Amino acid sequence: MPDPESLTLDSISLLLVWTAIAVYLLAFVAYAVDLAQRSVRRDEPQRMPALVTAGGGADTQSASDERSELNEVRTRPGQRQRLLWARIGTVLTGFAFVFHLAGTIGRGLAAERVPWANMYEFALTGTLLIVAVYLAVLRRYDLRFLGSFLIGMVALLLGGATLAFYVEVTPLMDPLKSVWLVIHVFVASLGTALFAISCGLSATQLMQARRERRAAGKNETTKGLGLGYLRTLPTAEALESLAYRFAIVGFIFWTFTLIAGSIWANDSWGRYWGFDTKEVWTFVIWVLYAGYIHARATRGWRGTRSAWLSIIGFTAVLFNFTIVNMFFKGLHAYSGLS
């Protein structure tokens, strides 16, 4: 930790980041307690009836069913269940976000540039956007049941990056002195945030689908698995529909990331594509999510197969950020690590 007698703007930023991590951990505990309390609840959530238009065909039926499924998680804040620990977790997440934002801005001011030019700074900004998207989405969808997953992941990634990837502020390398640094990396971070929420929904969908299969087989107990809270969550179909929507928006941002990266590469190195490791993995991620969206939309890949494609896609995103940046050499060697 920095010496209080010699605080700089960057060291203050670091203190704010550690404070955010501590509050995120408290929020994670609150969300975990909420899930534990949901496990002992005896009331099943009411399912919304299908909204089918008279005379509609199969496509209309499918679209109506999907809208009906999404109604299960689309609620106004004032209409939601009054789950005390979920509310505490959300409030703590908001406080942590403020510290996180202040630390990120402080790092940018200390560096006199945007704070995403190395692995530490990208983790700082990327996790900030995950929380920002989560808090924004809560205005429309009640996704507080994802709090323990998302906030726990943010605390783990941010804490790990601060311990392993932190570097002192250094001047930008020449290829990074471009407006594309602002656009390309920010859009990639935003796409990553949307993929993270989609992954959390898909993981929850897999657990919910298993519970529903057990319930259909007259074995409704999930206590042995510690998943009793699933009885209070939307159906697997509703979770899948919402995960799909987040993945589509994230895919749009990731497509722009790929295009912007090619333009930037041409400006910096005189070619749009060079099969650099980072470029290849960015394209692999694009292919995975393109396959997920296409398979679900046209091939009827729904349920378990759809969820696993979403999870594999986000795993590739994390692999691209960690393993590729740390262990693969190439033109995108901007991790900041010696």
- The predicted pLDDT at position 303 comes to 83
- Residues 250-254 have a mean pLDDT of 96
Amino acid at 19: T
Quote the distance between the C-alpha of residue 123 and its chain's center: 12
Euclidean distance between the first and final Cα of the chain, in Å?
21
- The predicted model gives 78-90 an average pLDDT of 81
Q: Give the mean pLDDT of 127-151.
A: 93
pLDDT of residue 83: 84
On whether the CB atoms of residues 154 and 24 are closer than 8 A, the answer is yes
Residue 86 confidence (pLDDT) above 90: yes
Query: Which pTM was predicted?
Result: 0.82
Tell me: pLDDT of 98 over 70. Answer: yes
Highest mean pLDDT among 47-61, 99-113, 313-327: 99-113
What confidence score (pLDDT) does residue 334 get? 59
The pLDDT of residue 284: 94
pLDDT of residue 57: 43
* 3-state DSSP of 6-44: HCCHHHHHHHHHHHHHHHHHHHHHHHHHHHHHHCCCCCC
**What average pLDDT does the segment 260-277 reach?**
81
Lowest mean pLDDT: which of 174-188, 282-296, 302-316?
174-188
CB 93 within 8 A of CB 135: yes
Mean pLDDT score, 162-176 = 82
Classify each residue of 67-78 as buried b or exposed e, where b means 16 or more C-beta atoms within 10 Å of its C-beta.
ebbbebbbeeee
Q: Indicate whether 120 pLDDT > 70.
A: yes
- Looking at residue 316, its amino acid is A
pLDDT greater than 60 at residue 23: yes
In this prediction, residue 67 carries a pLDDT of 55
Tokens of 206: 């897999």
The answer to whether 283 and 258 are in contact (CB under 8 A) is yes
pLDDT of residue 53: 31
Q: Which residues pair with residue 74 across a beta bridge?
A: 141
pLDDT tens digits, one per residue of 190-219? 999 999 999 999 999 999 988 888 877 655
User: What are the pLDDT digits (tens) for 230-245?
Assistant: 888 888 999 999 999 9
